[in-house]
Amino acid sequence: MAAPKYPLPTQLFINGKSVDSHSDERHSLYSPADDTLICDQIQYATQEDVDAAVDAALAAFNRPWRIFTAAQRGEVLMKLSALMLEHKEELAWLDATPTGKTISFAIKEIELAAANLKYYAGWADKYAGESYPADDGFIKIVRHEPLGVAVGINPWNGPFVAISMKLGPALATGNVMILKPSEKTPFGSTRFAALVSDAGIVPPGVIQSLPGAGATGALLANHMKVRKISFTGSVATGKRVQQAAASSNLKRITLELGGKSPSAIFEDCNFDNAVWWSVFAITLNTGQACFAASRLYVQESIADKFIDAFVKEMKEKINQLGDPNKPETQLGPLADIGQLARVASFFVNDRGATQVLVGGKQHGEKGCYWEPTVLYNPKDNAEVYREEIFGPVICVRTFKDEDDFLRMANDSEFGLMAGVFTQDINRAMRLSAGLDSGVVGVNCVSHINIQAPFGGTKQSGIGHEHSHYALRSFTEPKTVLINMSY
């Protein structure tokens, strides 16, 4: 095991301190780039640790944090944003190394996360309540009040963006937060919590970090003093979170789950733009993105030309696979051996169900690299066409007209993202209305913005992140009625 570039935080972070877990068990992580051991001393939070963190969070919420004004909370978020940028190389390395994310992409993620926190800093003193006139003898006032102890259960594919999407609106509206990073990326979250404490930006207990696997997440989802869970991850785990929230204390939930996003290429599209976005959408973070456009539909009249160009670009992407620690590398490995096995399993289960135009196999003998893959005309019931793969694998089909595309695009239990490539604005508006999707890109796809809500339909999730919609999910409206005739 080589010496790490930065110290690896292996403990928990509770009430302003790095502490040992109540369990003597230790866990390991291996590099997906070369199979070497990264660390074998990682600690997971137990029931006692979760109870301690929740009690510290509740104590912080009830007094020191609650007397912070909205403007002061905004200043806190500005300081958190600056702190992220100050330590972006370290934080990027800590979360990129365990999953093989390219270091250049990881640094961009920290920069985006810092920008998200700055965005919510601006909202802290502008999230207004409402009032209604006393035309019936009563003044009606609506206050938006914080829920209390919130938990952010974050994914491994974009840990710091997820932190910012949850921590920003939670703190802006007066909540406190326990971060539960994925067991695949425990280091960055815990190091950030420690940096915040060292800088004295928030009182102890306002931001904490509890690394752990699914069992730790379950303890938090079932905890009777937790009032909000914001979860990003798989549909299967999201369902368990919802069940735990309902069976415990009916805690509020936001679920940002999976996707199998469709994208339509019409004959009047800007050809080069459509090719670029189609490649980008399935190779971003090696295809490990919930909103990856993994179902590509091409109008029959341009199908041969477009597919040839698309396949050519995807073949070029194979040449860009490399060491994720090198700044010039554009495509890294899959996150770990388990993710590699998952992607490979689709090609065993669906053998003969589709034509492989490029890729479809592991790249090299060392590490968890998978070649960018284009599958043509998969069978309707093929798992590779129906299920989220979470790798650089895309299914291509052709369509005749708008109705044909909509029929295939909406025939899915997912509804997170969709794309339409056309220069006909009327067509774009028709399809954006007809698609069962939380986000629709016109002449773009697999792109989101902090100013607009992000969330899915059907089994892609419940609730929304980003924009002022996220503020709503961390507050409860309280109505105050004032009798003017008293």
Residues classed as catalytic: 256
H-helix or E-strand spanning residue 114: helix 103-123
Instruction: Identify residue 119 by its one-letter amino acid code.
Output: Y
Alpha-carbon span 228 to 215, nearest angstrom: 18
Alpha-carbon span 148 to 60, nearest angstrom: 10
Which residues, listed in sequence order, are joined to residue 440 by a DSSP beta bridge?
418
Instruction: Identify residue 285 by its one-letter amino acid code.
Output: N
Closest by CA to 369, choosing from 425, 321, 429, 433, is 321
Asked whether the beta carbons of 471 and 127 are under 8 A apart, the reply is yes
Give, to the nearest 10 degrees, the angle between helix 214-222 and helix 47-62: 50
Structure tokens at 171: 């703190």
Structure tokens at 78: 């500005």
Which residues, listed in sequence order, are joined to residue 415 by a DSSP beta bridge?
457
H-helix or E-strand spanning residue 338: helix 337-349
Closest by CA to 152, choosing from 237, 73, 209, 83, is 209
Alpha-carbon span 412 to 385, nearest angstrom: 10
Query: In 3-state terms, what secondary structure has residue 102?
Result: coil
**Dihedrals φ, ψ of 283, to 5°?**
-110, -10
Alpha-carbon span 82 to 117, nearest angstrom: 9
Residue 274 CA from chain centroid, whole number: 25
Residue 254 CA from chain centroid, whole number: 12
Asked whether the beta carbons of 95 and 101 are under 8 A apart, the reply is yes
DSSP structure class, residue 485: T
Alpha-carbon span 158 to 441, nearest angstrom: 21
Ordered DSSP codes for 271-293: HHHHHHHHHHHHHGGGG--TT--
Closest by CA to 406, choosing from 275, 262, 293, is 262
Query: In 3-state terms, what secondary structure has residue 142?
Result: strand
Contacts (Cβ under 8 Å, ≥6 apart) of 446 = 261, 277, 280, 281, 284, 289, 291, 292, 293, 417, 419
